A = this chain, B = another copy of it.
Amino acid sequence: MQRQDMLSLLERIKNGELSAEEATQLVERETYQDLGFAKLDHQRMRRLGFPEVVFAEGKAPGHLLDICRAHRQAQPKLLVTRLAADAQEIIAGELPGGHYNATARTLSYGLEQARAQGQVLVLCAGTSDLPVAEEALETARLMDCQVELIADLGVAGMHRLLDHQERIAAARVIVVVAGMEGALPSVVGGLSPVPLIAVPTSVGYGASFGGVAALLAMLNSCAPGVSVVNIDNGFGAGYCAALINNAPAGE
């Protein structure tokens, strides 16, 4: 609760619309759930439009389960990312009804029919980039987007890309996933007038330096309309894409 909210709260007290007791309750309600080792930001759904996402990597199975259970009780949707297959089995046993994508390593609860009209298109340069691309896909899907994925479109065989011009033209926002030299976003960005989120991956060897080569290439893209997320951050790209796709009309 910030200054503006508070001023209107005070105004309502002044006008007799609200008692001070009621005001105190209002202030205390909008809060978070404290598990001791974690503070679950349930307000996030209302504040940001999507509930807090659980990054599973490095969390103990017990903690992970407690966090997921608390989130499941608080809201219908939940996305867990970087979830290894064995940890997934523990959670699925306790919290049934989720959809696990083994390539993306994501677990989604509350998937519904896409409500948004536009489409998020995910392109990836090589088959090794698929886990990151699928993570972007699952994220946007849980955020109510229509999604589509086209794999293996490396720039050294551009006819494969050009063959999908129709589907590229139909997207409202495009996520491009690539490792190695990370050139695909520049080429796609020069073909399409929609916003493009580029995701560098750690695919490569030697002087790719775990994705740094692709990251730098994407940050320096000569195509306009390209913005970039962290290396291997499929979730972040899918989230950005969904926000863009779901936004109300600009013109």
A225 within 8 A of B: yes
**Interface residue A160 (Cβ < 8 Å from any Cβ of B):** yes
A100: interface (CB < 8 Å): no
Question: Which residue on chain B has the smallest CB distance to residue A182?
Answer: B217
Residues in B neighbouring A247, C-beta threshold 8 A: 118, 172-173, 194-195, 244, 247, 249-250
Determine if A84 is an interface residue (Cβ-Cβ < 8 Å).
no
Contacts known (A153-B39, A162-B2, A230-B206); A225 close to B127, Cβ less than 8 A: no
Q: Are A243 and B186 in contact (CB under 8 A)?
A: no
Given contacts A165-B4, A207-B219, A251-B117, contact A192 B48 (CB under 8 A): yes
Across the interface, name the chain B residue whose C-beta is closest to A115.
B251
Q: Mark A43-73, 1 if CB is under 8 A from B, else 0.
A: 1100111101100011100010000000000
Number of interface residues of A (CB under 8 A): 125
Contact of A217 among B194, B216, B235 (CB under 8 A): B216
Residue in B6, B50, B189, B219 whose CB lies within 8 Å of A228: B219
- Which A137-154 residues have C-beta < 8 A from chain B? 144-145, 151-154
User: How far does the alpha carbon of A240 sit from the alpha carbon of B195 in the complex, in Å?
Assistant: 6
- Interchain CA distance A155-B161 in the complex, whole Å: 14
Decide if A75 is an interface residue (CB 8 Å cutoff): no
For residue A189, which residues in chain B have a CB less than 8 angstroms away from its CB? 156
Does B31 lie within 8 Å of A7, measured CB to CB? no
> Cα distance A232–B116 when bound, in Å?
34
Give me 18 A-to-B residue pairs in the complex whose CB atoms sit less than 8 angstroms apart, sorted by A's number.
A14-B21, A32-B157, A39-B151, A41-B157, A48-B192, A58-B203, A156-B190, A156-B221, A172-B247, A181-B217, A181-B221, A193-B243, A214-B220, A216-B216, A219-B229, A219-B230, A227-B240, A249-B250
